[in-house]
Amino acid sequence: MKPPKQPPPKPKATGGLSSLIRPLFSRPLRYVTLPALCLAAMVGGTALLWRQVGPRVAARTEYQLTSDALELTPLPSWIHTNIADEVLRQLTAGGPVSVLDEGLPERVYQALAVHPWIAKVVRVEKQFPARVRAEVIYRRPVCMVEVPLAMDELPDEEDPNFAPGDARPARHGGLYPVDAGSVLLPTADFSRAQARRYPRLSDIHTLPLGPVGTAWGDARVAGGAEIAAALANDWERLKLHRIAPSEQPQSGGSSDDYSYDIIARDGTRIVWGQRPSSTFGDEVSATEKVSRLHKHLSQGGTESANPSPAIDLDIRYETGVSVAPRTAKKSAATKTK
């Protein structure tokens, strides 16, 4: 007698979660999977814990940004303002700032970028344990612009109406410091004596269009600042006094092409000509003009006991330097070529 037929075996289930997990714990993968799962659990737990306690840690005093913790490129000799303090006051106007804030470098960058003494922010980075370091390029003053009314700016001591201790310098005119790009700089960093050591840009009849840290907005100031920058290392040695622009642009040039005279301390009038960046006309370069000044002014000095008659010194053209006795009362810079 034949044994009864057995029903065929049921196929094993191949779907579901168990089918996905089981291979992970097979012998070849077991030693990789378990550590990975443990690590993921630790990371997730740490993130969850930080979300709960992070704000309390960031608010602790040792993690708050201070001026000591904000490290800037060392200040040059002409800046006396504590820029780190000023930037910190701006950043903390709404409350304390934590160095643990992920957006802090960008906030510091933006605050530094608008400071009037800073020309460029190179980089800002957080450093362990609780510091912020910023590399910046500072603006450098090249001249003082004489203006008819200076409001609360530096009074002009050479004005005949100047009285020491006068509380209203606006009555006497004044001096504004600018950099090579004619950007207006803070006057608080300059004493009256310091201001007088800079080249003087005279015959300016405009006031700055904007606040400190912005360009003056007058082409004659822009050109004069360029010339002052070109002579920055030679101004004292050549015993120069002031730069004077023409009243009108040069004929045939653009509206920015003014001519400039430089007046030496002994009264010599140097016909400098156009600003260094101008492409108008056929004048020699600013470097060549400075070289010519050294040849004609550095020997014998100026302001001697028996000064020679005032002369005009034209250094503009390839044909050479033209020297002539002073005959015209009107400044050569008021003429156009």
Give the whole-angstrom CA distance, residue 323 versus residue 297: 12
With 60 as the cut, is the pLDDT of residue 317 above it? yes
Give the whole-angstrom CA distance, residue 119 versus residue 115: 8
Given a contact cutoff of 8 angstroms between Cβ atoms, the answer to whether 212 and 118 are in contact is no
With 80 as the cut, is the pLDDT of residue 278 above it? yes
Give the whole-angstrom CA distance, residue 54 versus residue 234: 57
With 50 as the cut, is the pLDDT of residue 184 above it? yes
pLDDT of 108 reads 92
With 60 as the cut, is the pLDDT of residue 1 above it? no
DSSP state of 53: H
End-to-end CA distance of the chain: 134
pLDDT of 336 reads 40
Give the whole-angstrom CA distance, residue 190 versus residue 155: 11
154-168, 199-213, 268-282, 309-323: the lowest-pLDDT one? 154-168
With 50 as the cut, is the pLDDT of residue 209 above it? yes
CB atoms within 10 A of CB 327: 8
To which residue do tokens 């969850």 refer? 48
Instruction: Read off the pLDDT band of 56 (50, 70, 90).
Output: very low
With 80 as the cut, is the pLDDT of residue 3 above it? no
pTM equals 0.71
Runs of H (alpha helix) within the chain = 17-21, 27-58, 83-91, 104-113, 192-196, 219-230, 286-297
How is residue 24 written in tokens? 């992970």
Going 40 to 43 to 47 to 53, the CA torsion angle's sign is: positive
The pLDDT tens digits of the residues spanning 233-276 come to 999 999 999 999 999 888 777 778 899 999 999 899 999 999 99
Instruction: Read off the pLDDT band of 44 (50, 70, 90).
Output: low
Domains, the chain: 62-138 (3.10.20.310), 141-334 (no CATH)
In whole numbers, what is the pLDDT of the chain averaged over residues? Answer: 78
Inter-CA distances, 43 with 40, 79, 128, 137, Å: 5, 48, 22, 41
90-99, 119-128, 243-252: the lowest-pLDDT one? 90-99
Average pLDDT rounded to a whole number, residues 214-233: 96
